[in-house]
Amino acid sequence: MSGFVIARILHVLAVVLWIGGVGMVTTILLPAIRKSYPAAQRFAMFHTLEARFARQARITTAIAGLTGFYMTWRLDAWDRFRSADFWWMHAMALTWVLFTAMLFVIEPLFLERLLARRATSAPEATYRLVEWLHRLLLVVSLLTVAGAVAGSIGVNLFSW
């Protein structure tokens, strides 16, 4: 088995765990916490439960980024970033950058503390914000995955 095949397998598995986890958090965990806990306890409970997923997400986004870079290098596909026809390549890179920045920089350096502080004075509004941000990230992620799957077999979702 070639290095490229291994990279593609690892890339897809990493994306499945990463985006699948975002889907689970967004569609299952957040609504369950909303239904089961009073507003004042929701953010703390979410933070406790999501911490384990955050570790997994950091590992899987790192694997997705490394394998994506490797495959782009191996295929010498850098020119795809100059073409709107390969919008899904741009979407993959931007989605990866967004999540990587959130997981490795923004959340640990200040967002966690900012949201925790905000949750003490405005628990309902803070939890709604967390839910809204997760929904947005999930929609962006799913559009990216759909575009990448179609694009990888030569179909452009937006060329009707």
Statement: residue 158 has pLDDT above 80: no
pLDDT, residue 160, reads 55
3 state SS of 156: coil
Backbone conformation region of residue 38, classed left if phi is above 0, alpha if psi is from -120 to 50, else beta: beta
CA pair distance 117, 123, nearest whole angstrom: 9
**pLDDT tier, 52 (very low <50, low <70, confident <90, very high otherwise):** confident
pTM equals 0.90
Percent of the chain with pLDDT over 70: 99
Statement: residue 39 has pLDDT above 70: yes
Which residues are CB-neighbours of 13 under 8 A, at least 6 positions away?
Answer: 63
Statement: residue 108 has pLDDT above 70: yes
Distances in Å between the alpha carbon of 124 and those of 18, 31, 111, 127?
Answer: 27, 13, 17, 5
